[in-house]
A and B are shown apart, each in its own frame.
Chain A
Amino acid sequence: MSPLSGAGPIFQREIQLYRAKLARPTFVVAALVTPLMYLVVFGLGLGRQVRIDGGDYLTFLVPGLMGMAAMHNAFTWVASGINIARFYHRTWQIIMLAPVSPLAVVAGTVAAGMARGLFAAILVGLVGLAAGWRPEPTAAIPLALLLETSLFSALGMVIGLKTRSTEEHTTYTNFLITPMGFFCGTFFPLASLPSWLSAPLHLLPLTHANIALRQSGLTGDALAALGILTLFAVLLLGWAGQMVARYRE
Chain B
Amino acid sequence: MIRVEAAVKRYGILPALDGLDLSIGAGEAFGLLGPNGAGKTTLVRLLATLASPDSGRLSVGGHDTVTEAAEVKRLIGVVFQENNLDRDLTPRQNLSFHARLHRIDAADEAVAAMLTRLGLAERADRPVNGLSGGMRRRLVIGRALLTRPRVLLLDEPTTGLDPAIRRDLWALIRDIRDQGCTVVLTTHYVEEAENLCGRVGIIDRGRLVAIGSPTELTARFGAARLEDVVVALAQTDGEAA
Contact = CB atoms under 8 A, between A and B. Distances in A.
A94 B84 contact: yes
Nearest to A249: B50
A13 interface: yes
Contacts of A16: 86, 89, 93
B166 interface: no
Interface string A91-112: 1011111111000000000000
B123 interface: no
A90 B93 CA distance: 17
B84 A5 contact: no
Nearest to A13: B97
A17 B89 CA distance: 7
Contacts of A95: 101
Nearest to A8: B100
B48 A97 contact: yes
Interface in B72-104: 73-74, 76, 78, 80, 82, 84-89, 93, 97-98, 100-103
Contacts of A248: 50-52
Given A5-B103, A8-B100, A249 B89 contact: no
A20 interface: yes
A12 B87 CA distance: 16
B70 interface: yes
A94 to B, nearest CB: 6
Contacts of A249: 45, 50-51
Given A94-B84, A249-B45, A249-B51, A12 B78 contact: no
B49 interface: yes
B127 interface: yes
Interface string B128-151: 000000000000000100000000
Interface in A79-134: 89-91, 93-100
Given A16-B93, A97-B73, A89 B85 contact: yes
B86 A17 contact: yes
B74 A99 contact: yes
Interface residues of B, number: 29
Contacts of A94: 84, 97-98, 101, 143
Nearest to A9: B100
A6 B101 contact: yes
B100 A97 contact: no
Nearest to B70: A99
Contact of B84 (A6, A10, A93, A100): A93
B101 A17 contact: no
A186 to B, nearest CB: 32
A96 B98 CA distance: 11
Contacts of B73: 97-99
Contacts of B85: 89, 91
Nearest to B89: A16
Contact of A99 (B82, B87, B89, B102): B102
Given A10-B101, A94-B98, A89 B87 contact: yes
Nearest to B96: A9
B97 A93 contact: no
Given A99-B70, A248-B51, A9 B97 contact: yes
Contact of A97 (B49, B82, B93, B103): B49
B50 A20 contact: no
Contact of A89 (B51, B74, B84): B84
B48 A89 contact: no
A48 interface: no
Contacts of A164: none
Contacts of A91: 84-86
B99 to A, nearest CB: 8
A13 B74 contact: no
A51 interface: no
B50 A93 contact: yes
A202 interface: no
Contacts of B80: 90, 93
Contacts of B71: 99
Given A6-B103, A89-B86, A248-B52, 4 more contacts: A90-B80, A98-B73, A98-B98, A99-B74
Interface of A: 1, 5-6, 8-10, 12-13, 16-17, 20-21, 89-91, 93-100, 248-249
Interface of B: 45, 48-52, 70-71, 73-74, 76, 78, 80, 82, 84-89, 93, 97-98, 100-103, 127, 143
Closest 7 CB pairs of A and B: A90-B84, A9-B100, A20-B88, A99-B73, A98-B101, A13-B97, A99-B70
